């Protein structure tokens, strides 16, 4: 009987160790992914995914942290960085983000790269509002969804 109890106890301990290790090595764990900044980043990236999948436009007001502190979000080359005094978190949304406005012309890889390079960065803070908009553009003679982020005045 003691043999069975000891094996069950060892199995439970090994499951606990695995759970802790998995938590340490998840995406963003070392970049503040589990912090409040990480939660703001998760919310923003979830909204970009929803806009992409739904082909819609979402207006989002950048939140303050639960402590009342402000966050700064910057987007550059499709990478989103959320910073606060509590830490920072970064991620590149799978749908890709663009900061320029389309004029309706047909696009190709070099045109998109050029437009992205010329658009630079977008930086906004808690309390400011952005629009996350999915638009269908002609890319390489095929319709393709692009996700844009604009600061709302």
- Spatial strand order of the sheet with 142-151 comes to 57-61, 129-139, 142-151
Per-residue model confidence as pLDDT tens digits over 51-72: 999 999 999 999 999 999 999 9
Q: Does 106 lie in the same domain as 40?
A: yes
High-pLDDT (> 90) share of the chain, %: 67
> Which residue range(s) make up the domain with 107?
31-151
Q: Taking residues 77-105, what's their average pLDDT? A: 92
Q: Does 89 lie in the same domain as 16?
A: no
Q: Does 98 lie in the same domain as 40?
A: yes
Per-residue confidence at 147, pLDDT binned at 50, 70, 90? very high
Q: Does 22 lie in the same domain as 82?
A: no
Quick check: helix, strand or coil at residue 19? helix
Distance CA 49, CA 121 (A): 20
Task: Give me the pLDDT at residue 51, please.
Answer: 95
Query: How many structural domains comprise the chain?
Result: 2
Q: Does 130 lie in the same domain as 77?
A: yes
Burial of 53 (0-12, 13-18, 19+ CB in 10 A): exposed
Q: Does 86 lie in the same domain as 147?
A: yes
Task: Give me the pLDDT at residue 24, please.
Answer: 46
């Amino acid at each position: 009987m003691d043999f069975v109890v000891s094996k069950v106890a060892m199995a439970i301990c090994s499951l606990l160790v695995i759970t802790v290790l998995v938590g340490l090595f998840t995406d963003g764990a070392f970049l503040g992914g589990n912090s409040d900044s990480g939660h703001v980043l998760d919310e923003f990236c979830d909204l970009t995914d929803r806009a992409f999948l739904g082909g819609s436009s979402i207006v989002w007001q950048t939140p303050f942290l639960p402590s009342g502190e402000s966050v700064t979000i910057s987007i550059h080359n499709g990478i989103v960085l959320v910073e606060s005094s509590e830490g920072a978190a970064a991620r590149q949304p799978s749908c890709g983000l663009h900061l320029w406005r389309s004029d309706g012309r047909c696009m190709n890889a070099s045109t998109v790269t050029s437009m992205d390079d010329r658009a630079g960065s977008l930086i906004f803070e808690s309390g400011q509002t952005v629009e996350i908009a999915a638009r269908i553009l002609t890319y390489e003679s095929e319709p393709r969804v692009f996700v844009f982020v604009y600061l709302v005045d």
